Structure 1
Amino acid sequence: MTISEVSERFGLSQDTLRYYERIGLIPPVGRNASGIRDYGEEDLKWIDFVKCMRQKAGLPVEMLIEYLALFQQGDGTLDARKALLVEQRARLADKIDDMTSTLRRLDDKIARYEQTIGGKEQALRAP
């Protein structure tokens, strides 16, 4: 796939894709005979993984770069890679707990407003 096709597929700019490759967030992308990036299935899997971890889970770029570097070193780094993922999972779970607590507070506030508004409407209807 060309960079423009990948850009459209993942909703990432071409500059972002180049940047991800340059800083080591995704492995180097192969080139065709003309020197143009030619994204293969493995490249697409990495982009999907990085997009999910960055945009949806909010994992730090530095951690993902470290993970890729370990991955490229081979199976001798399995334990280290797992440890990185377990640590990030714990951080994400804490974040979810915090967000759930915030959501409950917002729900409570909204319920109070609804009670107040409902009471005022009742008062207006009273003869």
Structure 2
Amino acid sequence: MKKYLLFIMVAVLFSYGCGKDAVRPSEDSQLATGALDRIEVIRSAYLIKDTGILQQQLDAKLAEDILKNISFNTAELSFTPRMVRITDEAIIVSLGWQGAWQLEKDKKLENRGVANLVLHRESMKLMQLEGDNPFLVPLEK
């Protein structure tokens, strides 16, 4: 009988303890999600060689460096985010990446690496790449 009452009391506490309001994501969570979404936009624009979007989403110097190296016919590029760090000035996304670039009909180059993509916190523009640049077509062996 005591076990039965204890079970009912616990069930009642749990049913009243759960709020009906949805949990709102924190500001940091929203910033991290926004940064990952922005990086996906940049990745997609790079793959289809959309220079307009790339110029909008990247720092001017970085855009210039990336756009002068878009010399492939087709490319595949995948990102695996590892960690997102948020500072007062920037959002730093650490990720692993791998890519394959088709240069000519029979010539396909592959590469992989790790990089930190640094986005400006306010504008969400990609300001800097640290580590292995995923937007650089590898040199032939």
TM (norm. structure 1) is 0.25
* Structure with greater helix percent: 1
TM (norm. structure 2) is 0.23
* Structure with greater strand percent: 2
